[in-house]
Chain A
Amino acid sequence: MDRIPILRMGEFLLVTIQVDMHDQLALTLQDDLSERISACSSKGVLIDISALDMVDSFIGRMIGNISGLSKIMDADTVLVGMQPAVAITLVELGLTLPGVITALNVERGMTLLRARLDHQ
Chain B
Amino acid sequence: MIVRDSGTQPVRIEQDVVLARHTVRRLAVECGLRLIDQTKIVTAASELARNTVVYGGGGDMDWEILEDGARHGLRLVFRDEGPGIADMKLAMTDGWTSGNGLGLGLTGAKRLVGDFDIDSRPGVGTRITIARWT
Contact = CB atoms under 8 A, between A and B. Distances in A.
B112 interface: yes
Interface string B27-55: 00000000110111011001100100000
B7 interface: no
Contact of A93 (B18, B22, B25, B104): B104
Interface residues of A, number: 22
A32 B14 CA distance: 20
B101 A57 contact: yes
B56 interface: no
A5 to B, nearest CB: 19
Interface stretch (A9-17, A68-76, A83-91, A105-113): A83-91
A20 B22 contact: yes
A103 interface: no
Contacts of B102: 57, 60-61, 95
Given A20-B22, A54-B42, A89 B112 contact: yes
Contacts of B39: 53-54, 85-86, 88-89
Nearest to B53: A23
A37 to B, nearest CB: 23
B72 to A, nearest CB: 19
A120 interface: no
B129 interface: no
Given A24-B14, A54-B21, A58-B50, A93 B101 contact: no
Nearest to A95: B104
Contact of A94 (B38, B50, B101, B111): B111
10 contacts: A20-B22, A22-B17, A23-B17, A53-B42, A56-B47, A60-B102, A89-B36, A93-B104, A94-B107, A94-B108
Given A57-B101, A86-B39, 14 more contacts: A20-B21, A22-B17, A23-B17, A23-B50, A56-B47, A56-B50, A57-B104, A89-B40, A89-B43, A92-B108, A92-B112, A93-B104, A95-B104, A95-B108
Interface of A: 20-24, 53-58, 60-61, 84-86, 88-89, 92-95
